[in-house]
Amino acid sequence: MRTGNLRRFIALLLALAMVAAACGSDEGTETTEAGGETGGDPMKVAFVHVSPVADKGWSWAHDQGAQYLAANMDVDITTLEAIPEGSDSQRVFEDLAAAGNELIFGTSFGYMEPMLAAAANFPDVTFMHATGFMSSDNMGNYFGAAEEGRYLTGIAAGAATQTNLIGYVAAFPIPEVLRGINAFTLGVQEVNPDAEVQVVWTSTWFDPPLESTAAQSLLDANADVIAMHQDSAAPGQAAEAAGAKWVGYNTDMTEFAETAWLTAPVWDWGPFYLTTAQQVADGSWQSEAYYGNMADGMVDIAPFGPSVSDETRATIEERKAQIIDGSFSVFPDPIVDQDGTSRELGDIFGMDYFVEGVIGSPTG
Amino acid sequence: MTVRRIIVEPRGLASLRLTLTVPLLSVLAALIIGGIFLWITGDNPLTVYGHMVDAAFGSSRGVSETLISATPLILTGLAAAIAFKMLVWNIGAEGQFLLGAIVAAGIAIAMGDGVPAVLAIPVVIMAGAIGGALWAAVSAVPRVYLGTNEIITTLMLNFIALNLMNYLIFGSNSPWRDPLVSTFPTGRPIPDGASLPRFFNRLDVGIFIAIAVAIFAWYLVNRTRWGFEVRVVGDSAETARYAGIQVPRKILGVFLISGAFAGLAGALFVAGPVGALDPRSLDLGLGFTGIIVAALARLNALAVIPVAILMGALNNAGPSLQSIGVPPEIVTMLQGAILIFAVGGEFFIANRLRRPELPPEVLAGEAAA
Amino acid sequence: MSDSTETLTVDLRDIHKQFYGVKANEGVNFQLRPGEVHALLGENGAGKSTLCSILAGLYRPDAGEMIIEGEPVVFKSPKDALAAGIGMVYQHFRLVPNLTVAENLALGHHNLGVMVDQKDLQRDATQLGERYGLPVDPTARIWQLSVGEQQRVEILKLLYRDAKVLILDEPTAVLTPQESQSLFSTMRQLTDEGRSVIFVSHKLHEVKQVSDRVSVMRQGQMVGEIDTADAEPKDLARMMVGRDLELPTRAEDDSTGQPMLVVRDLRVPGDRGLESVKGVSFEVRSGEVVGVAGVSGNGQRELAYGLVGLRRPTSGSVTLDGVDVTEENVLEHIRQGLAYIPQNRLGMGLSPGLTTEDNLGLKAFREAPYSKGRQLVPAAFKSRGKDLIEQYDIRGVVPGLPIRLLSGGNLQKALLAREVEMQPKILIARSPTRGLDVGATEAVRNSILRERSRGTGVLLMSEDLDELLALSDRLIVLYEGEIVGELTARMATAERLGLLMAGQRDEVAP
């Protein structure tokens, strides 16, 4: 995520390496101008990401969406990466608004309140915030039902495990993550009722060494499949090294661990970004909380790895079709929690418990 | 017996002119080196520098944002400057800053909405300073009475403070955590009564407090008996003992004041721009940056003010440079280059290079025996 | 000796050398004969080191001729000089600390140091050392050696290269009196073999003792050359300084004053907790100078620390003008009128990085005019400082710059000025003239005697017997932390003191 100053200066010692990195990341940072011969200036759209877009994770997925937008509409896109969350980011949003951007996306939860404050100061600019819950007349928010993808990847994991123990490296004990773990576990148990999912908390979205250590601790506990709610591929590399399997997140991360790779819940933000930009351009945009899903394509799963059997693939494809046509819902109601008690499902956006089959504490 | 071609030796007389021009030349040299990097990566250095100045000072929002960033840096810079002046290696401003923030936010939340601002704000600020001082005391007391190494203890306490803050927000349902937000753990907002009044865009009165503290610190060191004793201890503890100065007490005092400055920075930051004990907003390495500020200011309390503003400006210029296509790494490099050149410049102020042709007699401070 | 037909070993003619406009040598002539110890005398900055460095090939003269053994030469580097048989031992040694003695000897001589058999080298070193009375362990690494031993290695290095002329730049500055004596006998042995020694010094009695001839330099010029036998110390001093010295004169002993410092059975721990001062009792009266003699390391430092409050005594008592201060801190001692001139001027007596003005206020800053309540009065530091700098003739002060830039003599003047200005009842001074040139020594000694006549009780701790004998009314001798003898000035002689310092208790009661 954000880099501390100390680390920044240590990084300076690697100046040459960074020059190389700077050259290499040009395509992500440069202003993209889609070829349009229409009169007038193209609409200015800005994206603010918490990590470098080259991370191949969360921010990369959003940046793919931005490129999809640029390819399909005459827009002038500014991308800011590695912008720390927190109050300092208000300045960044206001700078972008002052620079003439009409639509500004912030793709990390911690931008929510600073963006709300900036939105109040720039009422003519449209702000869009991913993963949050606050909104105003000119600020909307959006997210997607990752649980649908989580459930399907759980099937792949449940079919793959031999030891019946699946490790799950998770960032923070918050509803979004708990929802994902629960959906995943339900998917596991659909095909393998004996398998359990053990959770380890890292308290960070992005910290490759720590994520790797967490994965290793699960592997040491005899887990033979690693799933994760993290932004780096480090858990997968740990799994690959241990000869275990891996369920990723955010994007197709096959390249990091080709043998271990099963699949992953992935995001496709492009169509949503295009629709939003078109709405802002023609004046039809309305502030709302948009929750995308598999049916509209915002949520999907990545291509399968070589070890996923045809039988498993078929099971998953079948469930996927049911999810899309609405005939299957990931969470049953009532639902059985970790203690074996049946309870009302309630509001899934406030989910604060584990389902049966999860080992670990839902409060961290 | 080798005759070295160039000899490095302490410079006796560093003229005032040299003291002023070397830092400026250092910054200039850093800009030139940075410019070369920019040029290599395909950007026009002049455009980029122009944009940086414009982003930091070119608009009323730019100026206020620069000053917002400078406020905590002035105080953490002072924390480092006053300690280093006395050879107390408090590198724990980071942790003391966080403790100041935790204590200040805690008091503010505990007081709630009922307390009028004239009372609430001074209480919150004092609480932050005391929090920072107490956190410093954890390192200072064993340093003074047992001779433990404060570099290690303050550094470790930085991590403990960070984890404490993360625990209060992420790991527990503490009073610091906002119970109304379940999606993601956040700090409970500071009540309005304890929030620092804003007067210029987002800029709040914290900047005046920081500047006042800098002036106070300068006065303390240069114009009081206590400060004189501190300067003697910092220059030569042996001499201080000889002159009847109680060295341990002075070290303890300086350490606590250093911690109080850092804690105050934390208090002003939570009661000002952040408005809650929010780990994402507070874990910015402001304590560490303060060490850099102090070094560039040559440990002079008044010089800390412009240096902190410069660092604030550099920091804020970063994201807006990305808008014109400059990679964020380049901004980081510019900051680092300025630091390295400033430290290098310091070397040339303190030393000079000479050919070995100077006879011992001519040199100042000839060693008679 | 003055056989004019004999070829001169070294003949320097009309040497000129400037450094950035400073004339370090101005038309200097210098002649060295074979087999002599030739002393080069002069105050700090007179140009001695420059002249020697030119002869040793380190600098090239701006003008002038160098004739060695009758042949004109030009040295481009110290290597050339060494090839011509001339080598120098500098004040700051040029040895490689991590190499052994033997390796240092070989360094630069055998270019392929690694190829040389260590055993051969060590044997050579041992033999050479034995021959010249310079014993040193050839396998020891330089950093393990004392300063005196390192100096021996420097000399051995030159002998290993068979230098005919050895230039020793103030070699005794770092030596104890005993080590100096042994160096002098080595020098004699060298000249007996036909080698020549140039002995740079500003200590008259050493010059008188060891040299055959003396050349005196002042302000870059050679002011005279004289056979040592014909040289009176007073004349040499006048040549060096360019005026008559007011040699300290001590009014006759009338030590009937009040006891100002009374020490009873004082015991003070050393750095490692062992007792360093073992039950010492003595008094210092108003208007008397009590000298403390002793070889260094016999408890002088701990005694001083115990007396001034820097170290808490384990038992016994210290009374200053009737007030028991044994258990008090340093500040209380100062308030009772105790002034202290420590051996370590810069670093204890003076704060190196502070200005001269600040240092002059270092004892009195707690009171008016330096401070007003808790506030400092910078103007008072400035004006009081200016007065003291003038009054005590402290030279080289640039306002606002750190005091460490001053020369040793001026540092000591500043330190004395501050201590004397507090009008102390007791003044404790440790080696107050060590390393100072004659002019500064004179000023310091006169200040001490002025204090004595003002009625201050002075405790003078020194390793310089001449100084102790010249200034003290009474002398006590410390040996292994105990007082082994007490003598009045009239009874004290260098011989008697020497015996006591070596631990032979005085049988004669004082």
The 3 state secondary structure assigned to C232-272 is CHHHHHHHHHCCCCCCCCCCCCCCCCCEEEEEEEEEEECCC
Rounded to 5 degrees, φ, ψ at C92 are -100, 120
Region B317-342 average pLDDT: 76
Give the pLDDT of residue C400: 81
Residue that wins the pLDDT comparison between C495 and A69: A69
Distances (CA, A) of B214 to B99, C215, C425: 21, 60, 43
Domain check: are A341 and A353 in the same one?
yes
> Using the beta-carbon criterion (under 8 Å), do B183 and A176 form an inter-chain contact?
yes
B208 closest CA partner among B142, B146, B276, B125: B125
Q: Does A124 fall in a domain?
A: yes
Among A118-127, B59-68, B218-227, C483-492, the minimum mean pLDDT is found in: C483-492
Give the pLDDT of residue C95: 86
Cβ atoms of residues A49 and A83 within 8 Å: yes
Chain C partners within 8 Å of B362 (Cβ): 19-20, 22, 24
Q: CB-based contact (8 Å) between A343 and chain B?
A: no
Q: CB-based contact (8 Å) between C323 and chain B?
A: no
> Using the beta-carbon criterion (under 8 Å), do C375 and B223 form an inter-chain contact?
yes
Cβ atoms of residues A138 and A126 within 8 Å: yes
> Using the beta-carbon criterion (under 8 Å), do A22 and B41 form an inter-chain contact?
yes
Collapsing DSSP states into helix, strand and coil, what is residue C377? coil
Segments forming the whole domain that contains residue A19? 5-144+268-292
Q: CB-based contact (8 Å) between C453 and chain B?
A: no
Give the pLDDT of residue A126: 97
* Size of chain C, expressed as the number of residues it contains: 510
Angle between helix B286-296 and A5-12 (nearest 10): 60
Strand partners, C277: C268
C361-398: per-residue pLDDT in tens?
Answer: 999 999 989 999 999 999 999 999 999 999 998 888 88
Give the pLDDT of residue A36: 38
Region B261-290 average pLDDT: 93
Give the pLDDT of residue C129: 87
Give the CATH number for residue A46: 3.40.50.2300
Secondary structure (DSSP) of A47-92: EE-SS-GGGSSHHHHHHHHHHHHHHHS-EEEEEE-S---STTHHHH
Q: What is the distance between the alpha carbons of residues B127 and B135, in angstroms, rounded to a whole number?
A: 12
Out of C77, C350, C407, the one facing B366 most closely (by C-beta) is: C407
Q: Radius of gyration of chain B from Cα atoms?
A: 23
Give the pLDDT of residue A285: 96
Q: CB-based contact (8 Å) between A79 and chain B?
A: yes
User: Per the structure, how many domains does chain A have?
Assistant: 2
Chain B partners within 8 Å of A31 (Cβ): 325
Q: Does A214 fall in a domain?
A: yes
Distances (CA, A) of C507 to B199, C294, C493, C499, C503: 89, 17, 15, 11, 12
Å from C484 to nearest chain B CA? 29
Å from B274 to nearest chain A CA? 5
Out of B228, B244, B359, the one facing C24 most closely (by C-beta) is: B359
Domain check: are A138 and A150 in the same one?
no
Q: What is the distance between the alpha carbons of residues C247 and C237, in angstroms, rounded to a whole number?
A: 10
B3-52: per-residue pLDDT in tens?
Answer: 334 544 444 444 556 666 766 777 788 888 888 888 888 888 888 888 88
**C-alpha torsion A129→A134→A136→A142, nearest 10:** 40
Region C215-240 average pLDDT: 87
Cβ atoms of residues A3 and A82 within 8 Å: yes
Average predicted confidence (pLDDT) for chain C = 87
C window 210-239, beta carbon within 8 A of B: none
Give the pLDDT of residue B23: 66
In a mutational test of the B interface, the residue from C362, C374, C401, C411 whose CB has the highest number of chain B CBs within 10 Å is: C362
Chain B partners within 8 Å of A110 (Cβ): 184, 280
In this predicted structure, the answer to whether residue B1 has a pLDDT above a threshold of 80 is no
In this predicted structure, the answer to whether residue C4 has a pLDDT above a threshold of 60 is no
Q: What is the distance between the alpha carbons of residues C290 and A157, in angstroms, rounded to a whole number?
A: 94
Q: Does A364 fall in a domain?
A: no
- The verdict on whether omega for the bond into residue A271 sits within 30 degrees of 0, i.e. cis, is no
Token duo for residue C119: 């055993």
Strands C426-430 and C457-461: parallel
Give the pLDDT of residue A17: 32
Map out the domains of chain C with their CATH numbers: 10-241 (3.40.50.300), 259-501 (3.40.50.300)
Strands C22-32 and C196-201: unpaired
Average predicted confidence (pLDDT) for chain B = 85
Domain check: are A102 and A13 in the same one?
yes
A308 closest CA partner among A299, A317, A297, A295: A317
Domain check: are A152 and A238 in the same one?
yes
Q: What is the distance between the alpha carbons of residues B7 and B353, in angstroms, rounded to a whole number?
A: 6
B172-204: per-residue pLDDT in tens?
Answer: 889 999 888 777 788 999 999 999 999 988 999
Q: Residue A19 is which amino acid?
A: V
Cβ atoms of residues B82 and B254 within 8 Å: yes
Give the pLDDT of residue B116: 92
- Chain C residue with minimal CA distance to B222? C376
Region C290-313 average pLDDT: 91
Give the pLDDT of residue C44: 72
Strands A32-33 and A75-80: antiparallel
Q: Which chains pack against C, by 3+ Cβ pairs within 8 A?
A: B
Give the pLDDT of residue C36: 94
Chain B partners within 8 Å of C301 (Cβ): none
Domain check: are A254 and A283 in the same one?
no
Cβ atoms of residues C476 and C282 within 8 Å: yes
Task: Estimate to the nearest angstrom the gap between the alpha carbon of B7 and the chain centroid.
Answer: 34
Q: Does A222 fall in a domain?
A: yes
Domain check: are A198 and A61 in the same one?
no
Cβ atoms of residues C333 and C322 within 8 Å: no
> Using the beta-carbon criterion (under 8 Å), do A8 and B61 form an inter-chain contact?
no
B82-124: per-residue pLDDT in tens?
Answer: 999 888 899 999 999 999 999 999 999 999 988 999 999 999 9
Domain check: are A140 and A152 in the same one?
no
Give the pLDDT of residue C509: 42
Q: How confident is the model at residue C146 (pLDDT cuts 50, 70, 90)?
A: confident
Q: What is the distance between the alpha carbons of residues C380 and B181, in angstroms, rounded to a whole number?
A: 62
Give the pLDDT of residue A168: 97
Cβ atoms of residues C379 and C407 within 8 Å: no
Cβ atoms of residues C402 and C353 within 8 Å: yes
Q: Does A297 fall in a domain?
A: no
Q: Residue A87 is which amino acid?
A: S
Domain check: are A88 and A188 in the same one?
no
Q: What is the distance between the alpha carbons of residues C407 and A210, in angstroms, rounded to a whole number?
A: 59
Out of B274, B278, B319, the one facing A95 most closely (by C-beta) is: B319
Token duo for residue A116: 């709300």
Low-confidence residues of chain A: pLDDT under 70: 1-40, 364
Cβ atoms of residues C270 and C302 within 8 Å: yes
Å from B359 to nearest chain C CA? 6
- Chain B residue with minimal CA distance to C52? B359
Domain check: are A229 and A277 in the same one?
no
Helix locations, chain A, DSSP H: 5-12, 15-24, 26-29, 58-72, 89-98, 112-121, 146-160, 175-191, 208-220, 234-241, 270-282, 310-325
Give the pLDDT of residue B356: 44
In this predicted structure, the answer to whether residue C248 has a pLDDT above a threshold of 70 is no
Give the pLDDT of residue C21: 66
Domain check: are A330 and A232 in the same one?
yes
Rounded to 5 degrees, φ, ψ at C23 are -85, 105
The tally of CA atoms less than 13 A away on the side-chain side of residue C178 is 8
Give the pLDDT of residue B295: 83
Q: Do chain A and chain C touch with ≥3 beta carbon pairs under 8 Å?
A: no
Domain check: are A92 and A138 in the same one?
yes
Q: Residue B204 is which amino acid?
A: D
Q: What is the distance between the alpha carbons of residues C471 and C208, in angstroms, rounded to a whole number?
A: 22
Region C465-485 average pLDDT: 90
Cβ atoms of residues A253 and A261 within 8 Å: yes
A55-102: per-residue pLDDT in tens?
Answer: 788 999 999 999 999 999 999 999 998 898 888 899 999 999 999 999
* CB-defined contacts B:C, below 8 A: 130
Region C46-66 average pLDDT: 90
Q: What angle do CA A3, A7, A9 make, to 5 degrees?
A: 115
Q: How confident is the model at residue C473 (pLDDT cuts 50, 70, 90)?
A: very high
Q: How confident is the model at residue C272 (pLDDT cuts 50, 70, 90)?
A: confident
Give the pLDDT of residue B17: 63
Q: Which chains pack against A, by 3+ Cβ pairs within 8 A?
A: B
Domain check: are A235 and A333 in the same one?
yes
Q: How confident is the model at residue C92 (pLDDT cuts 50, 70, 90)?
A: confident
The 3 state secondary structure assigned to chain B is CCCCCCEEEECCCCCHHHHHHHHHHHHHHHHHHHHHHHHHCCCCHHHHHHHHHHHHHCCHHHHHHHHHHHHHHHHHHHHHHHHHHCCCCCCCHHHHHHHHHHHHHHHHHHHCCCCCHHHHHHHHHHHHHHHHHHHHHHHHHHHHHHCCCHHHHHHHHHHHHHHHHHHHHHHCCCCCECCCCCCCCCECECCHHHCCCEEECCEECHHHHHHHHHHHHHHHHHHEHHHHHHHHHHHCHHHHHHCCCCHHHHHHHHHHHHHHHHHHHHHHHHHHHHCECCHHHHCCCHHHHHHHHHHHCCCCCCCHHHHHHHHHHHHHHHHHHHHCCCCHHHHHHHHHHHHHHHHHHHHHHHEEEECCCCCCCCCCCCCCC
> Using the beta-carbon criterion (under 8 Å), do B13 and C330 form an inter-chain contact?
no
C22-32 sheet: strands from edge to edge: C22-32, C10-19, C63-68, C71-72
Token duo for residue C281: 């009792």
Å from A87 to nearest chain B CA? 5
